[in-house]
Structure 1
Amino acid sequence: MPSFHHGDVEIAYLDEGDGDPIVLVHGFASSKNVNWVYPTWVSELRKNGFRTIAFDNRGHGDSSKLYDPEDYHIGTMASDITALMDHLAIARADVMGYSLGARMMGILARTRPERVRSGIFGGLGIGLIKGGGPGESVARALEAPSLDDVTDPFGRTFRVFADQTRSDRRALAACLRGSRRLMTEAEVAGIEVPTLIAVGTKDEIAGSAQELADVIPGAEVLNIPNRDHMRAVGDKVYKEGVLRFLSRRP
């Protein structure tokens, strides 16, 4: 598996296929494989003519594990995207993030729009501005001695997921505490790249896709029927909607 260094942090990534580049940014407690390879996103995008790049966020997968929350400031995590693009000599790319990855993409689309050909918010709606998502109860669940010690239902969900993916739970807790910055409505209203917001209709974590679209000029909404936050990731409607969006964007 190839990797590169962004400062002292080693980032593992994959780079497959030819054509217009698209960078995939996974969600919290996930990885490039769990979020993008196993649900066949990488193979589908390659098949449809895209050079597909995905990486493990710092603290996740095969990338460096860090234990200071300051190392996971959302702006720092967003800069890992452009560092990878620079490493691969890619000036501009479509960028799709899921959940935490969508927060990273949103920061990038606002601060470095010249690098983002289009932006896709997966699994994140108005929660980008109004919060939601995992909080301190999840961090405590990740740090608990065992699953039996976790009583919070939300915390148990993420603890089970982290155990299933064999994640470094201490690194994830630090990531959660360090990356929780929200964007303001004014910042989000300043996003000018072509934007798609794709959220499951049963997603109780992301917040309303339409509310976020009402803030971002020209944003499109893709509702993923009958899917919650976890199960929307590999949904056929999600894939088909993203491919349609990518075929139409400038």
Structure 2
Amino acid sequence: MGAQTFDSDGVEIAFIDEGAGDPVLLIHGFASNIATNWIDTGWVETLTAAGRRVIAYDNRGHGGSAKLYDLEAYGAPLMAEDARRLLDHLGLKRADVLGYSMGARIAAFLGLAHPERVRSLMFGGLGINMVRGVAGTGPVARALEAPTIDEVTNPTARTFRAFAEQTRSDLKALAACIRSSRAPITAEALATLTCPVLVVVGETDVIGGSALQLAELIPGAQAVEIPGRDHMKAVGDKTFKQAVLKFLEERP
């Protein structure tokens, strides 16, 4: 699978475009990339086999996309515009959008800013904490900036640092990304979403929080809890894939 690139208002963004059918846009999580979040987990294969066209991109600061070190260059509303410009670049009027963790936040901002471009929204790995905010971005940023992982004692922050090293990420760009303005998503804003919405979160995911509680804020949203899975283990889970395929089959 060869990645292509496009210019998103001066920022080079890497993406893949596979398969044929109704387009699904995939937005990966923090410190991840197309390969780690979507290819290695079997998502691209699963969706293309189900007759979908799959478009996935590396968020700015991640994977094969441009690494930026300015706090002003990040934030989910800005990063959602990369998604919109990719749809523009490909000449797509709208797509079903699946985001994981930070990618779910970005997907929400895309749906709120450009509802006409989003056929449905699927939030993975982010439940009620989409509204409450994820505590401890400071410790995660400091963990990314620490000279070595051995100096990181906070367990959650250490998990992110280990993951960022595993994905061979640019730690400085990630620190800028997570330190950038945390634009809040309010319950009132989510209540205005009119497209079909699915929320899927692992049962033991303390980072994402409850899927049911988030779904209750969104008109007609469905919630699925993945038994026995945490934030990192839920990503490629077959229950998650089955829920998404069923949702896509049934949505108007």
String of CA shifts for 1:92-136, please: whole Å, max 9, x gaps. 100000000000000111121100000000001111110125511
Read off the aligned partner of 1:101 and give its amino acid letter: G
Distance (whole Å) between structure 2 residues aligned to residue 225 and residue 4 of structure 1: 39
Distance (whole Å) between structure 2 residues aligned to residue 125 and residue 185 of structure 1: 12
String of CA shifts for 1:164-190, please: whole Å, max 9, x gaps. 110000000000011522201111111
Distance (whole Å) between structure 2 residues aligned to residue 154 and residue 48 of structure 1: 35
Equivalent of residue 219 in structure 1, options 218, 221, 225: 221
Whether contact under 8 Å (1:119, 1:195) holds in the other structure is yes
RMSD: 0.9
Read off the aligned partner of 1:95 and give its amino acid letter: V
Read off the aligned partner of 2:139 and give its amino acid letter: S
Read off the aligned partner of 1:132 and give its amino acid letter: V
Distance (whole Å) between structure 2 residues aligned to residue 213 and residue 36 of structure 1: 24
Q: How does 1:47-66 map to 2 (within 5 A)?
A: 47-66=49-68
Instruction: Extract unaligned runs of 5+ from structure 2.
Output: none
2:24 alignment partner, SS class: strand
Whether contact under 8 Å (1:110, 1:187) holds in the other structure is yes
Q: How does 1:56-205 map to 2 (within 5 A)?
A: 56-132=58-134, 135-178=137-180, 180-205=182-207
Whether contact under 8 Å (2:104, 2:126) holds in the other structure is yes
Distance (whole Å) between structure 2 residues aligned to residue 58 and residue 23 of structure 1: 16
Read off the aligned partner of 1:194 and give its amino acid letter: P
Give every structure 1 segment of 4 or more consecutive aligned residues whose post-TM-superposition deviation is greater than 6 Å: none
TM-score, normalised by the number of residues in structure 1: 0.98
Whether contact under 8 Å (1:29, 1:161) holds in the other structure is yes
Distance (whole Å) between structure 1 residues aligned to residue 154 and residue 215 of structure 2: 31
String of CA shifts for 1:73-101, please: whole Å, max 9, x gaps. 21110011110000000101000000000
Distance (whole Å) between structure 1 residues aligned to residue 78 and residue 95 of structure 2: 19
Instruction: Extract unaligned runs of 5+ from structure 1.
Output: none
Distance (whole Å) between structure 2 residues aligned to residue 5 and residue 114 of structure 1: 22
String of CA shifts for 1:3-37, please: whole Å, max 9, x gaps. 00112210000000000000000000000110000
String of CA shifts for 1:127-161, please: whole Å, max 9, x gaps. 11101255110000000000111111111111100
Whether contact under 8 Å (1:124, 1:198) holds in the other structure is yes
Read off the aligned partner of 1:225 and give its amino acid letter: P
2:81 alignment partner, SS class: helix
Whether contact under 8 Å (2:212, 2:224) holds in the other structure is no
Whether contact under 8 Å (1:110, 1:192) holds in the other structure is no
Aligned to 1:31: 33
- Count of aligned positions: 250
Distance (whole Å) between structure 1 residues aligned to residue 113 and residue 73 of structure 2: 19
Distance (whole Å) between structure 2 residues aligned to residue 134 and residue 29 of structure 1: 16
Distance (whole Å) between structure 1 residues aligned to residue 103 and residue 64 of structure 2: 16
Aligned to 2:249: 247
Read off the aligned partner of 1:7 and give its amino acid letter: D
TM-score, normalised by the number of residues in structure 2: 0.97
Sequence identity of aligned pairs in percent? 54
Read off the aligned partner of 2:167 and give its amino acid letter: T
